[in-house]
Amino acid sequence: MSQTIIPSDQPVSAGVLPRRFFALVIDFFIIGVIGWVAAFFIVIFGFFTLGVGWLAFHIIPAIPFAYYTLLVGGSGGATPGQRAMGIAVRQEASLAQPTLPQAFVWSVLLWLSFAFACVPFLLTLLNPRHRAAHDILSGLVILRARQIPY
């Protein structure tokens, strides 16, 4: 995917790296709140079912995957943290919003990047568009939302 419709990389990718970091911090906070709320309701459900409902604790690790997949692959193309920071996730070739399968692959690769001690994130320092390994492998790019041509 070497050909894209982005005329110049500078305006759409300027300042994306710090925005991505702060968007990730905001999203981690939101995921944490969702996780705590889910855990609270699972505990209450577990008491009412005499312990059987506590098996629902197994869904908590899926919360970050569902969060990123549904929000990035949804109609907005960005998580609440990314929207707050003014960035959006788009397909590299057409700048269209990501599909759900692309968003799922992107979120799985994002969490694998954390599993590899964040080493794949170092690629953002070497790439002019500040794309990490999970962006490149999933065919997505993070751009400033106001600079997207359409």
Q: 43-52, 55-64, 122-131: which range is least confident on average?
A: 122-131
CA 140 from centroid of its chain's CA atoms = 11
Looking at the DSSP bridge assignments, the partners of residue 140 are 91
Q: What's the pLDDT at 127? A: 85
Q: How far apart are CA 11 and CA 148, in angstroms?
A: 9
Give per-residue pLDDT as tens, 105-146: 999 999 999 999 889 999 988 888 889 999 999 999 998 887
Place of tokens 């505990």: 43
Kindly report the length of the chain: 150
Give per-residue pLDDT as tens, 66-108: 999 999 999 889 999 999 999 999 999 888 999 999 999 999 9
Average pLDDT over residues 55-62: 96
